[in-house]
Structure 1
Amino acid sequence: MKVGVDYYPEHWDVSLWEQDAWQMREAGITIVRLAEFAWSRLEPAEGKFEFAWLDQAIGVLARHGINVVIGTPTATPPVWLTHDYPDVLPVDNKGNAIFAGVRLHRCYNSPSLRKFGERIIEQITQRYAPNPAVIGWQTDNELAANDCHCESCTRSFRGWLQRKYGSLETLNREWGTVVWSGEYSDWDQVTTPRGGSPYLNPSFLLDFRRFSSDAVADFNRFQAALIRKNSPGKFVTHNLWGYPVTADYYDMFDSMDFASVDYYPATDLLDDSKSRMYHGALTLDLTRGVKRKNFWVMEQLSGTPGCWYPMSRTPFPGMIRAYAWQSVSRGADAIVQFRWRSARIGAEQFWHGLLDHHGVPGRRFEEFVQFSQEAQKLAPLLEGTTLKHDVAMLFSHEQMNAFQIQPQADGFDYLGNFKRVHSALLKMGVGADVINWRDDFQGYKLVIAPMLYLIDGTIAATLKQYVDNGGTLVLTTRSGVKNLNNVCLPDRLPNLLTDLAGVYVDEYDPVGKDIQTLNLDSGEELSSGQWCDILTPVTAETIATYASEYFANESAITRNAHGKGVVYYVGTVLHETASQILMRRIASDAGVECEFELPDGVEVAVRSSEERRILFVLNLTREPKEILLPVRDYVSALSDRRLPASSIILGPGSVEILVEENATAASVA
């Protein structure tokens, strides 16, 4: 278990470095990430390299026992590079160059970016690979797919399509370009989707997003190869920015040793524009699922966020510590706080760090120190532990991109609807592995595959194999609509999944924000919105019917026995409470332990190994909460106090970490 900070020595007078390093060591910090935005200081002019300052900074940290992760600086090309080699800059869909702003002003397909990026990475890695204080590398910073339309991207996109389709005849057929006279007669006519019109061919738009995602993944592989050549034996990672993004993280991280994430939970805790950006536990579960193993948090909330938009609330007392432990509870093996000192210069002056502009430690700093001390104490206990679950949720960047290209109904959002099901599991204390929809999921008791809008025979066969072998599968509305080229399939929905689900969609209604009601066969009344499939069971049984509108008494949710397993089809988007009711029933029937009924804002998670099982209980709210515990014997890892099986009361932002006595990893649900 490692604790660190992000530090920018180039922003501060050298006279502060020694004091900062001493104070970091006293706070229990053992790692620092640096240099990811320092290209202009490392190479102030073309071919002129200056490393003395970074040598000195690393040396100061190393003398205090602090290790270093170096970030490659390609996220911020310096002014000399963008001025002298303008092909580095991305071009928008109107043909205008996107000039340097905050950062990320570069095209991944730019020959100049590759040339000069390779040179600076070679220089850094060759210089610091032998340094024992440098333990690993971060590529770039928060990579995301550019919507770039420069000449390099146009040529690369054209080549990408030629490799995929082989001929213009095939491309025209697979995209359906006959609509609106969009057929191509020469490859030179094929460009990126210029102009920004939302009416462009959806197959064209989805392929461009795939191409843009592939360009990011290739750029990351390019950097990883350089690093490994010059710095063998040291890890390579990247710090992903949450969701939604166009880039497919599963491809982007195939060249990384493990995933890292930048995690900034919303401090406002209300349904405002900022809080809707963040997805809490889902972000952490998604990150763990990228490589299907433990991860790092390379930037963790330390203070009030705010830059080019209004500042959010200051983290309430306990929040910094609680959310750091939340990250650990969901698989983080390192917590790196952003940032050490709040910036006094530049665009991020009001994205606060552990120390405010005056540099005097305060409440937030002391709270971080508490977490740091606790993490140091528990490090031996956490060593070798991870999360093991009976439930998997299948996530797909392709589905998310397709839904963004063609919104299905008012309020219909792939990530939001995914989060609603994930949150229902959280309320029951049921952990889930959020994994790539193309990964192997055969070993789980319950697999939830929401909104499989794009489908092909391969994934349909894999789902069938899983169910036939005894698995429980949950399908939802908007499944089996299109093929992978974003073209509607010809049969009744859910097309390739009809036999498996034992039901077909007779008609559908994009009800948007109109609230609908359902009657569950067990007597509960449920509510839903966004979309309603009116279902006709074939071999499936109806477990819920609509109770509103013209489709009252029609099937809304079905259950179908298939092979040794079971398939549920949920034909509408259930509201929060309704989703919890249904998911508890499905999980219980699948043999998944549902041991909790948690208050709002309370989470539990289990990390385990063959020797131990550790239960994290976190109150992420501003109010005290009472939590009923399963009947087991616990010892608090924080206080060493024996806790009889009962309930516990956690204050605002409080955490309890419980070691289950006589527990084995086999008992993990």
Structure 2
Amino acid sequence: MRIGVDYYPEQWDRSIWQADSDLMAKTGVKLIRFGEFSWSRLEPSDGQFEFQWLDDAISTFSRHAIGIVLCTPTNCPPLWMYETYPDITQIGPDGRRIQTGIRAHRCINAPMFLYYAKRITEALAKRYANNPAIAAWQIDNEIEAYPCTCEVCCNQFRDWLIDKHDTLENINAAFGNSVWSGEYSDISQIKPPTAYSKAWQNPSLCLEYSRFTSDCAAKFINDMSLIIKRENPKAKVTTNICFTENQPDLYKLYEGLDFASYDNYPQITISGDKAVSHSFELDMIRGVKQKNFWIMEQLSGPTGSWEPMSPTPRPGQIKGYAMQAMAHGADTVMFFRWRTAITGAEMFWHGLIDHSNVPSRRFKEFTELCKEAQKLSVIETTELVSDVAIMYSPDAHWAFSIQPQTEGFDYLEQLRSFHSAFARYGANIDIIAPTADLTKYKAVIAPAMYVYDKNAAENIYRYVIKGGTLVMTARSGVKDQFNNCIMEPLPTVFREVIGAEVKEYDSIGRHEQNIKDFAGNVFKCRQWCDILELTTARAYAEYNDSFYSGSPAVSMNRYCSGVAYYIGTVCNADFYESFSGNIMKQTGIPRLRDLPTGVEVTTRTNGLDDYIFFFNNSDKEAEIVLPKAMFSIIDGSDREKLSLKPYGMEIVRK
């Protein structure tokens, strides 16, 4: 398990490099990442490359056997490029050119930007791709599906639509352009969504544009990766992401890359507040390629630059949140950043060493983590194997953002509710694409499958037919592949497997009602109420309120060799915990009961030995009695009981 740091040699005097490399080696740092914002130093003027400083930086740190993660600098073109080629700047949905002066304002489709991006990437690859000090490459930085509306993007969007739909007539039909006299009579009339609220615009156009911009991001990353692979086919290449409003389809983005990488900034909580777990995000990034991943940026201190500063991480959080990432499949964790910047907009996004230049409490905790990580070599070949999967649909995520369904309804919260419930019982959980292989899972949760996809629907049916246990929820089967409503009773294509249909729905927003399950337990529900009419299904829970009191709210249907549940409303956490416990009991998924509040449990395995991670994500000490004595990987002794400090981690061999 490797611990690394993010470093910016171009921002520091060379005399500091030497001292920092010595301290990193002493501390136990194994990797260092740099280069993602250094284009102006690498190419200070057009065609004038200056790599000597980068050679020296690589040499300074690699002499301590610290591996280098080298980034391509394409996120921040130098100002001379913007000045010479103003057309490389993005144009926003409002039709105005975005002001330069901060990062990521280049249009990734602009021909001159692509020319220079490919040239600098090729120059770096030729110089360093076969350098043994380079452990991996990162393409760009936190790529997004940028909603650029420049003429190049407009033309490429039109071409993309014609390639997909063949004719203008087909586009008009797919978009339903007879509404509001929106029919295209010439291809030049096709334009990206504007700055108006998306809810006022054509939902088909908006969804297709999200798909287009996502494809552009994936193509850009893949093209840059291929340049490096041409120089060294064995080079390990990735890109780092954080979850943003303009999030691309991560499954496509990482398809051609060697591993996924994530920038992990858990929310800092203070005494008395309930910790907000980042386990969902970690499981989500692991599910992108369904294998272990890297953290490229990890919380090091108070955050805040373009926003007010957050509280400082509490004792245990620096180490604990890094260990939490490892528990969910991170093999490498790199901290942002080694030194807190003293210039620029990010000077209050704190690193491990503060402006005082004196190692702080957080740095000492980081040092402890580095030492502890050296004890974890035994789990380097392990991975998470899960019985539970939750489907994440980029199409659904985009479509819900275009047309909000009801007050308080949030697509990702649907996924989080199930994730939290299963995690409460210590289950490993994969978050996967709707077309992923489902055969290995005992339970698959498919929340709000809003936009129809033929391959996904067939995948779901095959899974249940062969004996799987499926859970679906309200707002499934609503739209066709072009984001138009399907003129059939909901949940349309899924009615047969569900064994029920929606005879009416009630958008209740933040108003609360009650449902009662088959055992007589009463739970709060809100936001949405599908009033079900059962065909072959049975009622699992019924509504207690409104004119549909007594109507099914949750159903269960035996279909071929499998079982399909449908939850027609949105409930509080206690319902999902009860429901998930029943699903685990019925499918034979092991359950850990009575875990202390805040304790998270995951298991990594190499096929022979299982290693159980117990993470106390709270500011209270927690004690766990093990069912039998187990060997502690961290302190090397047999343990019958675990005592976890706030944000503490223990790892035992099962």
CA distance in structure 2 between the aligned counterparts of 1:628 and 1:550, rounded to whole angstroms? 48
**Shift of the alpha carbon at 1:34?**
0.4
The TM-score normalised by the length of structure 2 is 0.98
User: CA contact under 8 A between 1:342 and 1:351: conserved in structure 2?
Assistant: yes
**Shift of the alpha carbon at 1:270?**
9.9
Match of 1:21 in 2: 21
CA distance in structure 2 between the aligned counterparts of 1:245 and 1:271, rounded to whole angstroms? 34
Q: Deviations over 1:477-536 (max 9, x none)?
A: 100101110010111000000011000001101111111111111121111111110111
Match of 2:81 in 1: 81
Instruction: Give the residue type in structure 2 aligned to 1:604.
Output: V
Q: 1:633 aligns with which of 629, 636, 645?
A: 629
Q: Which moved more, 1:64-73 or 1:124-133?
A: 124-133
Distance 1:306 1:208, change over 3 A: same
Distance 1:271 1:147, change over 3 A: farther
Q: Which moved more, 1:430-439 or 1:194-203?
A: 194-203
User: CA contact under 8 A between 1:213 and 1:247: conserved in structure 2?
Assistant: yes
After TM superposition, list the pairs within 5 Å mapping 1:242-641 onto structure 2: 242=243, 245-268=246-269, 280-379=278-377, 381-629=378-626, 631-641=627-637
Q: Which moved more, 1:390-399 or 1:193-202?
A: 193-202
User: CA contact under 8 A between 1:87 and 1:111: conserved in structure 2?
Assistant: no
User: CA contact under 8 A between 2:144 and 2:244: conserved in structure 1?
Assistant: no
Instruction: Give the residue type in structure 1 aligned to 2:428.
Output: G
**Shift of the alpha carbon at 1:595?**
1.9
Query: What secondary structure sits across from 1:417 in the alignment?
Result: helix
The TM-score normalised by the length of structure 1 is 0.96
CA distance in structure 1 between the aligned counterparts of 2:416 and 2:498, rounded to whole angstroms? 23
Matched, 1:6 2:6: yes
Distance 1:486 1:281, change over 3 A: same
After TM superposition, list the pairs within 5 Å mapping 1:36-55 onto structure 2: 36-55=36-55
CA distance in structure 1 between the aligned counterparts of 2:180 and 2:607, rounded to whole angstroms? 62
After TM superposition, list the pairs within 5 Å mapping 1:53-132 onto structure 2: 53-132=53-132
Q: Which moved more, 1:125-134 or 1:178-187?
A: 125-134
CA distance in structure 2 between the aligned counterparts of 1:255 and 1:224, rounded to whole angstroms? 8
Match of 1:229 in 2: 230
Instruction: Give the residue type in structure 1 aligned to 2:214.
Output: S
CA distance in structure 2 between the aligned counterparts of 1:281 and 1:135, rounded to whole angstroms? 27
Instruction: Give the residue type in structure 2 aligned to 1:241.
Output: C
Instruction: Give the residue type in structure 2 aligned to 1:200.
Output: Q
Query: What secondary structure sits across from 2:372 in the alignment?
Result: helix
Q: Deviations over 1:332-379 (max 9, x none)?
A: 110101100000000100000010012211110111111111111211
CA distance in structure 1 between the aligned counterparts of 2:46 and 2:623, rounded to whole angstroms? 61
CA distance in structure 1 between the aligned counterparts of 2:99 and 2:40, rounded to whole angstroms? 16
Query: What secondary structure sits across from 2:628 in the alignment?
Result: coil
Match of 1:162 in 2: 162
Q: Deviations over 1:118-161 (max 9, x none)?
A: 11111111111232111221000011111100010000000000
CA distance in structure 2 between the aligned counterparts of 1:121 and 1:112, rounded to whole angstroms? 14
Instruction: Give the residue type in structure 2 aligned to 1:376.
Output: Q
Q: Deviations over 1:11-45 (max 9, x none)?
A: 11111111000000011001100011000000011
Query: What secondary structure sits across from 1:482 in the alignment?
Result: coil
User: CA contact under 8 A between 1:209 and 1:246: conserved in structure 2?
Assistant: no
Q: Which moved more, 1:591-600 or 1:438-447?
A: 591-600
Q: Deviations over 1:395-452 (max 9, x none)?
A: 1111000000000000000012211111111111111111111212122111100000
**Shift of the alpha carbon at 1:599?**
2.9
Query: What secondary structure sits across from 1:536 in the alignment?
Result: strand
Instruction: Give the residue type in structure 1 aligned to 2:141.
Output: N
**Shift of the alpha carbon at 1:113?**
1.0
Instruction: Give the residue type in structure 2 aligned to 1:643.
Output: R
**Shift of the alpha carbon at 1:628?**
4.4
CA distance in structure 1 between the aligned counterparts of 2:43 and 2:213, rounded to whole angstroms? 28
**Shift of the alpha carbon at 1:83?**
1.0
Q: Deviations over 1:243-280 (max 9, x none)?
A: 554310111111210001000000136999xx99x860
User: CA contact under 8 A between 2:294 and 2:330: conserved in structure 1?
Assistant: yes
CA distance in structure 2 between the aligned counterparts of 1:617 and 1:365, rounded to whole angstroms? 24
Query: What secondary structure sits across from 2:415 in the alignment?
Result: helix
CA distance in structure 2 between the aligned counterparts of 1:581 and 1:518, rounded to whole angstroms? 13
User: CA contact under 8 A between 2:271 and 2:619: conserved in structure 1?
Assistant: no
User: CA contact under 8 A between 2:37 and 2:76: conserved in structure 1?
Assistant: yes
User: CA contact under 8 A between 1:68 and 1:136: conserved in structure 2?
Assistant: yes
User: CA contact under 8 A between 2:144 and 2:246: conserved in structure 1?
Assistant: yes
Q: Which moved more, 1:258-267 or 1:125-134?
A: 125-134
CA distance in structure 2 between the aligned counterparts of 1:443 and 1:235, rounded to whole angstroms? 28
Query: What secondary structure sits across from 1:364 in the alignment?
Result: helix
CA distance in structure 2 between the aligned counterparts of 1:35 and 1:438, rounded to whole angstroms? 36
Match of 2:221 in 1: 220
CA distance in structure 2 between the aligned counterparts of 1:259 and 1:196, rounded to whole angstroms? 34
Distance 1:271 1:509, change over 3 A: farther
Q: Which moved more, 1:454-463 or 1:484-493?
A: 454-463
Instruction: Give the residue type in structure 1 aligned to 2:644.
Output: L
Matched, 1:656 2:653: no
User: CA contact under 8 A between 1:474 and 1:570: conserved in structure 2?
Assistant: yes
User: CA contact under 8 A between 1:427 and 1:599: conserved in structure 2?
Assistant: no
CA distance in structure 1 between the aligned counterparts of 2:40 and 2:68, rounded to whole angstroms? 20
CA distance in structure 2 between the aligned counterparts of 1:192 and 1:238, rounded to whole angstroms? 27
**Shift of the alpha carbon at 1:322?**
0.7
User: CA contact under 8 A between 1:243 and 1:283: conserved in structure 2?
Assistant: no
Query: What secondary structure sits across from 1:18 in the alignment?
Result: helix
**Shift of the alpha carbon at 1:99?**
2.0
**Shift of the alpha carbon at 1:588?**
1.4
CA distance in structure 2 between the aligned counterparts of 1:188 and 1:264, rounded to whole angstroms? 43
CA distance in structure 2 between the aligned counterparts of 1:70 and 1:596, rounded to whole angstroms? 45
Query: What secondary structure sits across from 1:211 in the alignment?
Result: helix
User: CA contact under 8 A between 1:36 and 1:74: conserved in structure 2?
Assistant: yes
User: CA contact under 8 A between 1:596 and 1:628: conserved in structure 2?
Assistant: no
CA distance in structure 1 between the aligned counterparts of 2:562 and 2:610, rounded to whole angstroms? 30
User: CA contact under 8 A between 2:272 and 2:619: conserved in structure 1?
Assistant: no
Distance 1:245 1:186, change over 3 A: closer
CA distance in structure 2 between the aligned counterparts of 1:69 and 1:393, rounded to whole angstroms? 32
Instruction: Give the residue type in structure 2 aligned to 1:255.
Output: G
CA distance in structure 1 between the aligned counterparts of 2:15 and 2:335, rounded to whole angstroms? 23
Unmatched 5+ stretches in structure 1: 661-669
Instruction: Give the residue type in structure 2 aligned to 1:312.
Output: S
CA distance in structure 2 between the aligned counterparts of 1:260 and 1:208, rounded to whole angstroms? 25
- Superposed CA RMSD: 1.6
Instruction: Give the residue type in structure 2 aligned to 1:327.
Output: A
User: CA contact under 8 A between 1:67 and 1:134: conserved in structure 2?
Assistant: yes
CA distance in structure 1 between the aligned counterparts of 2:50 and 2:176, rounded to whole angstroms? 55
CA distance in structure 1 between the aligned counterparts of 2:89 and 2:124, rounded to whole angstroms? 23
Unmatched 5+ stretches in structure 2: none
Instruction: Give the residue type in structure 2 aligned to 1:44.
Output: P
Distance 1:355 1:257, change over 3 A: same
